[in-house]
Structures are given as C-alpha cells and as structure tokens.
Structure 1
Amino acid sequence: MSGGMNMKLISYSYQKRGKMKAIYDRFSESPVIFCKINGYYFVYYVRWSENDPIVTTQDLVEMEIELNVEMDTIEAYRRRKRYK
C-alpha cells in the first residue's frame, strides 16, 4: 500500500437486509454502506457529500479493510481479495 493517510472508522451501525453503515474520520459527512457476502463486507455505495474529499479507489479499499478488521471478517476478505 502507498503512503496515504490511514483513516479511522468512527462508528458503524447495522441496517436492513444485512447492510451496514459506517462513518470514517476523513469522510465524516459521507456515510458508507456495506453489504456482506461470502463472510466479509464490501463497499456497496458511498453517500458522498461535497464537504468531503473525493473518494478514491484506494480509499474504498482502506474502508473495506478497516470494517472487516473491526468485524473480525478480515480473513474472509483477504481470501476474496487474494492479496499479492
């Protein structure tokens, strides 16, 4: 991974139909919605706010890693992503 700023997961909450909403410090006004599939969480969509920076692909990967670590599903995520 590159030398980007690490973001922190501020909060998360369970939503309907197995989804989860998470808030990150770098994108505090842009809730991130996750779905769970095959035992891990992935970004379903971001309710992006113009008050936050543009969300990059690397940001999405960091978000997925942070939530999967928090939810203890990181091993399933790593198997799926096939880390190099």
Structure 2
Amino acid sequence: MVRGYFDKFPFSTVYFRRIRSYYIVYMVDWSESDPVISKGDREEMQQLINCELGRGKEYQQRKSRKG
C-alpha cells in the first residue's frame, strides 16, 4: 500500500493499492477541512501516483480504459 498527499487536499491521506501492475485509490482518510473528493479528483490522483512510481503506461493501458 502507498500513501499519497495532494495539494488540493492537504489534510486528507489517500491510500493506493496495487492492482496488477498499477495503483488505484483504495481508501481516503478524508478531512472535513478539505473539499469533497470527486471521481475526477480520484482519476487525477491515480494518474499522478502511477506516473510518479513509473507505472503510467500500465495505468493508461488497464482493461477498464479499453473500448
């Protein structure tokens, strides 16, 4: 499991789990001091963490993205 922190949500901790060869948001320890996290926010977080960990290509090629 990997923890992530994002500027837009400074008081919340985002946990990622590895699925096959890429990471997805598993759980968010959300703080009421932060804005509500949308589906688009989660997608952006996943893209960022996968690129940072060298898994960007695998994330972009995941099955759920294919036609």
TM range (shorter): over 0.9
Aligned residues: 66
Q: CA RMSD in A?
A: 1.3
Report the Cα offset of residue 22 of structure 1: 0.4
Pick one of 53, 61, 66 that aligns with 1:71: 53
What fraction of aligned residue pairs are identical, expressed as a percent? 36
The answer to whether residue 22 in structure 2 is matched with residue 40 in structure 1 is yes
Tell me which protein shows more strand as a share of its residues: 2
Cα distance in structure 2, aligned partners of 1:38 and 1:71: 14
Q: Which runs of 5+ in 1 are unaligned?
A: 1-18
Cα distance in structure 1, aligned partners of 2:65 and 2:19: 16
For CA contacts below 8 A with separation 6 or more, give which structure has more relative contact order: 2
Q: 2:6 aligns to what?
A: 24
Report the Cα offset of residue 83 of structure 1: 6.2
Cα distance in structure 1, aligned partners of 2:17 and 2:11: 20
What TM-score, normalized by structure 2, do the two folds share? 0.92
What TM-score, normalized by structure 1, do the two folds share? 0.74
Q: Which runs of 5+ in 2 are unaligned?
A: none
